[in-house]
Amino acid sequence: MKSAVVLLPGLNRDRDMIAALTKISGQAPATVWQTDTEIPDVDLIAIPGGFSFGDYLRCGAIAARMPVMRAVAEKAAKGVMVIGVCNGFQILVEAGLLPGALMRNASLKFVCRQVKLQIANANTMFTRRYQPGQIIRSPVAHHDGNYFADTETLARLEGEGQVVFRYAEGTNPNGSINDIAGIVNEKGNVLGLMPHPENLIEAAHGGSDGRALFEGALGIAA
Amino acid sequence: MKARITVTLKNGVLDPQGKAIEHALSGLGFDGVGQVRQGKVFDIELNGTDKAKAEADLKAMCDRLLANTVIENYAVEIA
């Protein structure tokens, strides 16, 4: 299974994402730059975390309007899997590929710690290697992860099982509505989440709770 | 032509920054401060003299970039 990683100025978790995908899939992902208008034939496109364009205007706002994101949208429409982590999640909502918005943390503080996540829907291509309701650990590091959606959108997300990850056991680090940590689009092939599963994939990280996400998405045996 | 765009948070959207400012103002001894909501202002210079076209362009700029209409409202003023 092939993957690609989107590179934008100001991202800083791109190396982590490339390393994780390389280790898990056994082959290095292709990389695409912000001005690229075509993305190679891959099964999974990852948008890493960081601070694209210095978080100017709104987190992810400028990145979402770069040419490469039109190419990502075209691939997503064709059913290619897309995962956006942290700033990648912010970019996906700004690009309109996922609903809602990510606002400043309720505490107004940058949070960098480990949280617990509950698998709210194990029936997606990204979570099929987890058990429903399973609690996993994951690092978070962000200032603007406070997920917001209007009442109607929220009801739709909850009703359709589009909420995939929830902060568990009182670990909500940002005030996110309904403890939402990650959502998928209606078709289920675009995932955005604030936590960093790519930073918990091997013993050296102190655990591998995030590994099953990539193994599930890429169809790789555990 | 000069234009000013004001972007504000929609009602019902939590504004933690506005809240913090509200508390800080009270801390400075400003009594009677109610709710504070933080927003953004963009001053934009435009070529051309067609006001109607400018207004249409500015609104498109807001919809496509300057405001996130999921959480924000905008107002366009042309001087």
**179-198 in chain A: CB under 8 A from chain B:** none
Q: Is B64 part of the contact surface with chain A (CB cutoff 8 Å)?
A: yes
Q: Is A103 part of the contact surface with chain B (CB cutoff 8 Å)?
A: yes
A61 closest CA partner among A86, A26, A104, A92: A92
Interatomic CA distance for residues A124 and B43, integer angstroms: 45
Distance from CA of A217 to the nearest CA of B (A): 29
Within 8 A by CB and 6+ apart from A184, the residues are A98, A121, A124, A126, A162, A164, A190, A191, A192
Is A59 part of the annotated catalytic residue set? no
Confidence of residue B12 (pLDDT cuts 50, 70, 90): confident
Distance from CA of A66 to the nearest CA of B (A): 12
The catalytically annotated residue of A59, A143, A196, A215 is A196
Please give the model's pTM, rounded to 2 decimal places. Answer: 0.94
Report the complex ipTM.
0.86
pLDDT per position as a tens digit, A171-221: 999 999 999 999 999 999 999 999 999 999 999 999 999 999 999 999 987
Within 8 A by CB and 6+ apart from B63, the residues are B69
Is A196 part of the annotated catalytic residue set? yes
What is the phi/psi pair of residue A82, to 5°?
Answer: -130, 130
Domains and CATH numbers, chain B: 2-78 (3.30.1280.10)
pLDDT per position as a tens digit, A23-34: 999 999 999 999
Residues of B in contact with A110 (CB under 8 A): none
Interatomic CA distance for residues B16 and A204, integer angstroms: 37
The alpha carbons of chain B give a radius of gyration, in whole angstroms, of 16
> Considering CB atoms only, which of B17, B20, B70 is closest to A101?
B70
